[in-house]
Structure 1
């Protein structure tokens, strides 16, 4: 009975989290000459002093093992027209970079034409549940004004700002 309740809780939690709009990125690392990457939605900026980010990776992830071994990773934040790229890096396999334009920058793969690219050095990690949260000190940033790719209700989309007359900040209409 307890296992069935846990399964039900997990399903309700999964459905609730699907209703939360998240940005999408491809986290990358190099294994010698071979690039690795995976699509994530569990990442965020952490601090401005020093500039730092965090990303959550599954304990069983080959990418996590590589990031921990090399001490570096790239965060390629995707734009609204890059849902195919997100899907390509979300699948299993070793050929995720097939047909993808990329280069090595600061020792990590940088995907071409992403609106935001961050290179980071691992500062710390924390194991939580079945994931490891990797904290990275930012060593390079390249950014462009392109609408973001988002994930909501199990589909890719983008963010559209509300008209200025409907915008509120801190509960005050602006």
Structure 2
């Protein structure tokens, strides 16, 4: 077998909408990237942020080239990474919007480099830009950390297009696993769905599995037996139409 064989890239890429849906299943933390140019503050919400190296200490942050913060970081040569706490989803939403004074009413502490760092953030890292490779619509800012601090607390998480607590991420994952279990008929019709068994197979918390079964009962995918046990509901045309209509209501409003 020739291990040096080059596999040609497919001519057709994954559909962007499908790709967005799939990568949305990757849970991440939430940050606000900040910088300053000529005394004016810039900031934007970003989840494509990661540690890169320990020697030297480096971070990377990916910013869309259409963002004004992107251009400001290029010009300033320095940026701040503000890792948001679980109670700061309002800041994630505020800095995620375009236009307006995003810093209005937001307390900040200015770093030695002049970068505005958000007060109350779970962790803060100031970086000096070292390299700026590009990929697709984004620039990857590789920065050497010049200052870093953190406090006790829990992080804000981003999962499937929504902000929330890490516990919320686990709840959504449990719901998806239980729904797949029910629709896949891994427990035969007529047999009780065992939350403990499902939790063990899905590597989830039994409490979250139980709550998922309750939710699926409200969605008519699960029914309660005479003894209160959970049972998979038979799939009927009416049930399929009901689930489809419900999804349209959620997605289209």
* TM beyond 0.5: yes
Q: Which residue of 2 aligns with 1:77?
A: 83
In structure 2, runs of 5+ residues without a counterpart are: 1-11, 171-199, 204-253
Deviation of 1:35 (Å): 0.9
Alignment equivalent of 2:156, drawn from 149, 152, 165: 149
Which structure has the greater CA radius of gyration? 2
Q: Which residue of 2 aligns with 1:119?
A: 126
Deviations 1:89-129 (A, max 9, x none): 00011310011011211321110010100000001011111
In structure 1, runs of 5+ residues without a counterpart are: 169-174
Are 1:49 and 2:55 counterparts? Answer: yes
Deviation of 1:34 (Å): 1.6
**Counterparts of 2:48 and 2:16 in 1: how far apart (Å)?**
17
CA contact (8 A) 2:28 2:158 kept: yes
Are 1:102 and 2:115 counterparts? Answer: no
Aligned Cα RMSD in Å? 1.8
Alignment equivalent of 2:146, drawn from 117, 124, 139: 139
Q: Which residue of 1 aligns with 2:240?
A: none
Q: TM-score with structure 2 length normalisation?
A: 0.60
Choose between structure 1 and 2 for higher RCO, CA contacts under 8 A separated by at least 6 residues.
1
**Counterparts of 2:37 and 2:74 in 1: how far apart (Å)?**
11
Deviation of 1:154 (Å): 1.1
Q: Stretches of 4+ moved more than 2 A in 1? A: none
Deviation of 1:16 (Å): 0.5
**Counterparts of 2:90 and 2:66 in 1: how far apart (Å)?**
24
Judge which range, 112-121 or 94-103, deviates more.
94-103
Structure in which a larger fraction of residues adopt strand: 1
Deviations 1:2-51 (A, max 9, x none): xxx76x71111000111111110000000222211000000000000000
Structure in which a larger fraction of residues adopt helix: 2
